Chain A
């Protein structure tokens, strides 16, 4: 029963540990055509045991940035490395100031769990802003929300700038919009050290909630910062009945992350279990909306959120 080889707590030892963790456990090396040996050899040349903690951390962080994955981070006591280009390279398409204007949430919006909600468009459309899937909500919260919107023609669920959180909240929220249990995706995990050693695909099902179902039109608003558990939610809602996705492509983040440690105590987070849509395609690079739209500057100046207005229009156009 030999244990796995251990690494020394030196800069070189920690570099080797990080290189090995990614090589054996990161799930997208083949999918993203990343030559990890080549990349790590390039950064290896910059590593020496005389480097300061900060300089060494920066080198390791840059190396991880080559994976182009928002779920890959190195955590030390003084910094967290990150790759944010999945949204910083694109228009924001969201303004907290806009959604808080009197045209949308206003000052008197209601709060139920992690959901902020109000009636908009002369009370004809229900609007929910969900900021983070780390904030939960109960069936009781949702019952009150749906009751509040009972005279509305449709519902807008705005998950722009929602960077993710608890994936079980994604399943719960989606369940209110399905009429029967539906296979909405798949997942697998690494089975071995090889870059393509994966388990069989496991079905991810979205249940139909037993007592609460919204069966009127729904518009889900997305932008590039809709990531991780939000990406999972959008993936589920993409095939829900009466739902359309409006806005910009989501940021992605289709790999469920796990974590490990380096000998110096730094934590590394990395994508370990790839998730797929119902057609068994990767969701790592994001999900396209059904209707692409962006916030126009001219609208923004007038206090109008173009994407919300598109959602309102789509609901009103429904028979």
Chain B
């Protein structure tokens, strides 16, 4: 009798221990990519100069994407922020134009997997573009601001390729703005008139394919190593827009290198880390 009671107790205890060690809860991972790049840049800003300026720049991009919920692996939420700084020169090297810019995007993607190893996603993004171009030797028009917001269409294709025993992630991403709003000054108006006298008439313009065309195409490869995944690629960005009888251009070709990793966040009272995740914050 005592032996039977002991066996029953042992069985109950072992069941209880088993329940505690199996964690079946699902977690959403955020795939984050940090990329650094070197770019060749062409700039045409007729408000500052009728000449095309060419030069080099450096960029940093941070991209983060995760599914909307653990139950729905069709829709993801993505945000990214990009910074670009460069210095360009006119064809005779008598003047320079410096450029500093940033772009923030937020959007969603719809995921498809038509065949094994091949994934597609199509998305829509809102973005905010802010930049500044300066030719310091200009008089009363040394600076022009790039300020725009757009709705963009995006398409991404991913393919997993086995090569030399590594699973390489190939990605081709293309994005284009379809409509938005932009700031473009009048050719003859000084910034004194616009921002001291606050005469901003005819500086805000609706943009769509009739006056703004851009393509942002990136080809990249993810190469997994032991403890990190290397992300390398090339990007071409072409932007052309017209307002106030002026045509502006910004073209950029970049070589990119960075890392890609999946991360998860535990914080607060509801998203606690499982006991087998060790934190210094405990």
Please list the residues of chain A having a beta carbon within 8 angstroms of any beta carbon in chain B: 1-4, 6, 9, 17, 25, 27, 75, 77, 167-168, 171, 187, 189-192, 199, 202-204, 256-261, 263-267, 269, 272-273
B 57-96 contacts with A by CB, 8 A: 90-95
**In the assembled complex, which residues on chain A have CB atoms less than 8 Å from the CB atom of B187?**
25, 190
**In the assembled complex, which residues on chain A have CB atoms less than 8 Å from the CB atom of B241?**
1
Query: Could you tell me if B188 and A77 are in contact, using CB atoms closer than 8 angstroms?
Result: no
Query: Could you tell me if A267 and B137 are in contact, using CB atoms closer than 8 angstroms?
Result: yes
**In the assembled complex, which residues on chain A have CB atoms less than 8 Å from the CB atom of B246?**
4
Query: Could you tell me if A203 and B51 are in contact, using CB atoms closer than 8 angstroms?
Result: no
Query: Could you tell me if A203 and B192 are in contact, using CB atoms closer than 8 angstroms?
Result: no
Question: Which of these, B94, B141, B249, contacts A258 with CB under 8 Å?
Answer: B141
Can you name 14 extra interface pairs (CB under 8 A) apart from A190-B188, A272-B140, A273-B190? A27-B188, A77-B94, A202-B197, A203-B197, A256-B193, A259-B140, A260-B49, A260-B50, A261-B51, A261-B95, A263-B51, A265-B90, A265-B93, A267-B137
**A273 and B247 in contact (CB under 8 A), knowing A1-B240, A256-B140, A261-B51?**
no
**Would you give the 0/1 interface string for B21-52, flagging 1 where the beta carbon is closer than 8 Å to chain A?**
00000000000000000000000101001110
Please list the residues of chain B having a beta carbon within 8 angstroms of any beta carbon in chain A: 44, 46, 49-51, 90-95, 137-141, 186-190, 192-193, 196-197, 199, 201, 211, 213, 240-242, 245-247, 249
A83 CA to B49 CA, complexed, in Å? 23
**In the assembled complex, which residues on chain B have CB atoms less than 8 Å from the CB atom of A269?**
139
Question: Which of these, A4, A77, A171, contacts B247 with CB under 8 Å?
Answer: A4
Query: Could you tell me if B140 and A189 are in contact, using CB atoms closer than 8 angstroms?
Result: no
Residues of B contacting A: mostly:
loop
A3 CA to B52 CA, complexed, in Å? 11
A3 CA to B51 CA, complexed, in Å? 11
Query: Could you tell me if A256 and B197 are in contact, using CB atoms closer than 8 angstroms?
Result: no
**A258 and B188 in contact (CB under 8 A), knowing A1-B240, A3-B44, A265-B93?**
yes
Question: Which of these, B94, B95, B247, contacts A3 with CB under 8 Å?
Answer: B247
Query: Could you tell me if B186 and A189 are in contact, using CB atoms closer than 8 angstroms?
Result: yes
Query: Could you tell me if A167 and B137 are in contact, using CB atoms closer than 8 angstroms?
Result: no
Query: Could you tell me if A1 and B140 are in contact, using CB atoms closer than 8 angstroms?
Result: no
A189 CA to B185 CA, complexed, in Å? 12
**A273 and B189 in contact (CB under 8 A), knowing A1-B247, A204-B197, A263-B51?**
yes
CB distance from A260 to the nearest CB of B (A): 6
CB distance from A190 to the nearest CB of B (A): 3
A212 CA to B93 CA, complexed, in Å? 48
Question: Which of these, B44, B91, B95, B201, contacts A263 with CB under 8 Å?
Answer: B91
**A168 and B196 in contact (CB under 8 A), knowing A190-B188, A259-B141?**
yes
**In the assembled complex, which residues on chain B have CB atoms less than 8 Å from the CB atom of A260?**
49-50
Interface CB pairs A-B, < 8 A, 10: A3-B44, A3-B249, A9-B91, A187-B197, A199-B189, A202-B199, A256-B190, A259-B137, A267-B94, A273-B193
**In the assembled complex, which residues on chain B have CB atoms less than 8 Å from the CB atom of A3?**
44, 247, 249
Question: Which of these, B90, B140, B193, contacts A187 with CB under 8 Å?
Answer: B193
A190 CA to B242 CA, complexed, in Å? 18
Question: Which of these, A2, A4, A203, A204, contacts B50 with CB under 8 Å?
Answer: A4
A84 CA to B139 CA, complexed, in Å? 19
**In the assembled complex, which residues on chain B have CB atoms less than 8 Å from the CB atom of A257?**
139-140
**In the assembled complex, which residues on chain A have CB atoms less than 8 Å from the CB atom of B95?**
261, 265, 267
Query: Could you tell me if B91 and A265 are in contact, using CB atoms closer than 8 angstroms?
Result: yes
CB distance from B50 to the nearest CB of A (A): 6
A260 CA to B197 CA, complexed, in Å? 23
Question: Which chain B residue shows the least CB distance to A5?
Answer: B50
CB distance from A168 to the nearest CB of B (A): 6
**A189 and B92 in contact (CB under 8 A), knowing A4-B50, A259-B138, A267-B137?**
no
Query: Could you tell me if A265 and B242 are in contact, using CB atoms closer than 8 angstroms?
Result: no
**In the assembled complex, which residues on chain B have CB atoms less than 8 Å from the CB atom of A199?**
186, 188-189, 201
**A261 and B140 in contact (CB under 8 A), knowing A1-B211, A189-B190?**
no
Query: Could you tell me if A258 and B140 are in contact, using CB atoms closer than 8 angstroms?
Result: yes
A168 CA to B199 CA, complexed, in Å? 16
A259 CA to B187 CA, complexed, in Å? 11
A1 CA to B214 CA, complexed, in Å? 12
Query: Could you tell me if B190 and A272 are in contact, using CB atoms closer than 8 angstroms?
Result: yes
**In the assembled complex, which residues on chain B have CB atoms less than 8 Å from the CB atom of A17?**
50
A60 CA to B112 CA, complexed, in Å? 64
Query: Could you tell me if B50 and A266 are in contact, using CB atoms closer than 8 angstroms?
Result: no
**In the assembled complex, which residues on chain B have CB atoms less than 8 Å from the CB atom of A272?**
140, 188, 190
**In the assembled complex, which residues on chain A have CB atoms less than 8 Å from the CB atom of B93?**
265
CB distance from B214 to the nearest CB of A (A): 12
Question: Which chain A residue shows the least CB distance to B246?
Answer: A4
The 7 A-B pairs with the shortest beta carbon distances in the complex, nearest first, are A265-B94, A265-B92, A190-B188, A189-B188, A1-B242, A3-B247, A261-B49
